[in-house]
Amino acid sequence: MPFLGDCAIRHMGAVLDRFETTLYPAMAARHTDMPVVPEGARSSTMNVNSIHGGQAEAAPGSDALPSHCVPDSCRIVVDRRFLVEESLDGVRAEMVALLDGLRADRPKFDYALRELNHVLPSMTDRDAPIARTVAGAIADVLGKPASFVASPGSYDQKHIDRIGTLKNCVAYGPGILELAHKPDEYVGVDDMMDSAKVMALSLARLLLPQQG
């Protein structure tokens, strides 16, 4: 007997296809003017973190046969990284427009969209005391001027900025951003020692200016 139900996973396949043919190309064409590092993060990006639908997988070692079911729901979790030039409302509207288009095109397709969390960009003025002090310490320790860059990551400074309302906050430390969260991520010993010197000198100049 043929399957007569309406498979939600097939509908989700159409969502993913629309991502590939419409949303991803549109995001790749957008570029920020901010000095974001790594350079590959200067475009809008989105990752599909997970997909859930249908029968649960059998436990390891189980010899039970799968049941014959037509999934009535399917859910994905996406992580959308947007640029400072984009607005949160615009990002939401773009996703809603894509899903509304599918609802108009596909019989029986429907969706619900729920935002789990969002983080807005945060940036300290490069002439703020903390930025000038750390830049000066970098120049003294490393013998070269500091580079002011923007990171695409979500740092704890967002909490200090918005919840603690302490605006003068910078992210500084050793490491290579291109390797962040990868299996071969590492920090060089010399880089770690230089960074410790920079942070110590910065603290001395900020907290003990007469001795800095």
**pLDDT digit string, tens, across residues 26-81:** 999 999 999 988 888 899 999 999 999 998 888 999 998 888 889 999 999 999 99
Residue 113 placed within a domain: no
CA distance 27 to 11: 23
Q: Tell me the CATH number at 83.
A: 3.30.70
If asked whether residues 84 and 172 sit together in one domain, one would say: no
CA distance 41 to 35: 10
The whole domain housing 38 covers 8-105
Residue 212 placed within a domain: no
Q: Tell me the CATH number at 147.
A: 1.10.150
If asked whether residues 93 and 13 sit together in one domain, one would say: yes
Residue 85 placed within a domain: yes
Question: In the predicted model, what is the mean pLDDT of residues 99-105?
Answer: 97
Give the tokens for residue 211: 């001795």
Which pTM was predicted? 0.82
Residue 117 placed within a domain: no
If asked whether residues 96 and 134 sit together in one domain, one would say: no
CA distance 96 to 94: 6
What lies within 8 Å, CB to CB, of 34 at 6+ separation is 42, 83, 84, 150
Contact 60, 44 (CB under 8 A): no
For residue 136, the model assigns a pLDDT of: 97
If asked whether residues 148 and 64 sit together in one domain, one would say: no
Residue 201 placed within a domain: yes
Buried b (16+ CB within 10 A) or exposed e, 134-153: bbbbbeebeeeebeeebebe
For residue 3, the model assigns a pLDDT of: 65
